[in-house]
């Protein structure tokens, strides 16, 4: 068994260079607003722009000073979603399990082992370069965590393997926070114990960390020793919460746009709850303003949330409580916790909930069969600018539309 992680290189900027070849080899930064407005932040940068010190999240005016002759381009969400759909469509032709982790990242399981994974990676990398005009990096290892780490090590435009017998040699010199799922708080906790590299962690007695980290310590050691953690990276053994963040390509104070992104996240969370057959009791909301100040809150409700409407009601309650009208938002995030197994307890007259479940199931079915860009609620598609990338429901989704009726 081999696990593979595909990560697109400088995805948004590479898409811009692909659709406009005159930008190839040029320093390109994708920003959330038109250049003439002199506002917004950098959401992506090309390799050439990176040499100027341009970083993601940098304000436009600062990036312009560092790269006065660079190309600053307004983001095109529908274009990036279209590229993502084409990548996903190509990956599923290999007949393996494919899980989209984000718009530009994919996890693929290859039961036949490394030889099969390498063959797929080489073919896919050649196809993306020759057909789409972008590059991707592939990481291959025995586990998903190490495959993700391998892809980070192989960037850009690379193919990196971490065979089981070479794990220590390949990763022990890396900083501990290079391991996917390790954030700055965990890294700081480990650093206080003198654990700064993955090699330090390997040599440190696990039981001395258990009082500080609980079951996460097992996840850590499983990851660096080449054992598949029970729930991939960042989720040790039991799913305690689910969340999604969405960085807006164009910062906005338009509340309809902000709420449309919340609805899109609520749809996603409802779908994930359905897959896990779980319900939630707590909703969380996270907003980041353009000055990088974060606000957030949580709300515990008296019933099990399983549907989009349930989650959205709770998020709107939080939104009214924490959002300051007129402030410009650049990131919207939401999540649920207090998870339990869903109990199917419905009354025959509960028609509204039944319709909600059917909508949720159709959204999930369409997304899994035709890709995440294949179906959106009309309000979400229009308000977020994604409508230009929607698959024609009269062709791809005709069967599912009939089923919903």
| Measured torsion, CA atoms of residues 42, 79, 155, 100, in degrees rounded to the nearest 10 | 110
Place of tokens 């400088």: 10
Which of these, 237, 7, 226, 209, lies nearest to 106 by C-alpha position?
A: 7
Q: Which residues lie below 8 Å from residue 101, measured CB to CB, with a gap of 6+? A: 5, 107
Rounded distance between C-alpha atoms, residue 150 and residue 220, angstroms: 16
Three-class SS of residue 119?
helix
Pairing of β 136-141 and β 159-162: parallel
Tell me which of 105, 250, 342, 352 is the catalytic residue: 105
DSSP assignments along 21-89, one per residue: GGGTTS-EEEESS-GGGT--BEEEE-HHHHTTT--TT-BHHHHHHH-TTSEEEE--HHHHHHHHHHHHH
Catalytic (active site) residue 16:
no
For residue 294, the tally of other CB atoms under 10 A from its CB is 10
Three-class SS of residue 375?
coil
Which of these, 125, 164, 163, 167, lies nearest to 8 by C-alpha position?
A: 125
Residue positions annotated with a catalytic role? 105
């Amino acid at each position: 068994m081999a696990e593979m992680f595909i990560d697109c290189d400088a995805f948004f900027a590479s898409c811009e260079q692909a659709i406009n070849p005159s930008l190839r080899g040029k320093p390109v930064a994708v920003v959330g607003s038109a250049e003439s407005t002199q506002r917004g932040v950098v959401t992506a940068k090309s390799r050439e722009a990176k040499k100027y010190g341009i970083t993601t999240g940098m304000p436009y005016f600062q990036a312009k000073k560092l790269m006065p002759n660079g190309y600053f381009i307004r983001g095109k969400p529908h274009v990036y979603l279209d590229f993502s759909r084409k990548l996903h469509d190509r990956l599923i032709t290999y007949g393996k399990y494919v899980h989209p982790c984000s718009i530009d990242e994919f996890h693929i399981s290859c039961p036949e082992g490394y030889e099969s994974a390498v063959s797929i990676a080489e073919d896919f990398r050649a196809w993306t370069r020759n057909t789409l005009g972008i590059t991707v990096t592939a990481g291959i290892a025995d586990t998903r965590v190490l495959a993700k780490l391998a892809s980070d090590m192989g960037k850009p435009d690379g193919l990196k393997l971490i065979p089981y017998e070479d794990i220590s040699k390949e990763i022990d010199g890396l900083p501990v926070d290079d391991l996917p799922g390790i954030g700055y708080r965990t890294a700081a906790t480990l650093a206080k114990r003198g654990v700064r590299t993955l090699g330090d962690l390997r040599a440190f007695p696990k039981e001395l960390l258990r009082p500080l980290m609980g079951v996460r310590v097992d996840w850590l050691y499983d990851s660096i020793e080449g054992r598949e953690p029970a729930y991939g990276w960042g989720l040790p053994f039991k799913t305690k919460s689910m969340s999604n963040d969405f960085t807006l390509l164009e910062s906005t104070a338009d509340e309809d746009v902000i709420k449309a992104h919340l609805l899109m996240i609520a749809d996603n969370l409802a779908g994930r709850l359905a897959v896990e057959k779980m319900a939630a009791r707590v909703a969380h909301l996270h907003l980041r303003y353009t000055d990088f100040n974060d606000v957030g809150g949580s709300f515990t409700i008296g019933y099990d949330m399983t549907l989009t409407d349930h989650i959205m009601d709770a998020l709107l309650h939080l939104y009214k409580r924490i959002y300051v009208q007129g402030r410009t938002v650049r990131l919207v995030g939401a999540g649920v916790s207090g998870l339990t197994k869903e109990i199917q307890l419905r009354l025959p007259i509960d028609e509204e909930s039944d319709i909600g479940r059917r909508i949720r199931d159709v959204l999930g079915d369409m997304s899994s069969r035709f890709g995440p860009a294949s179906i959106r609620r009309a309000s979400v598609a229009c308000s977020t600018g994604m409508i230009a990338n929607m698959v024609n429901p009269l062709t791809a989704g005709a069967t599912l539309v009939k089923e919903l009726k």
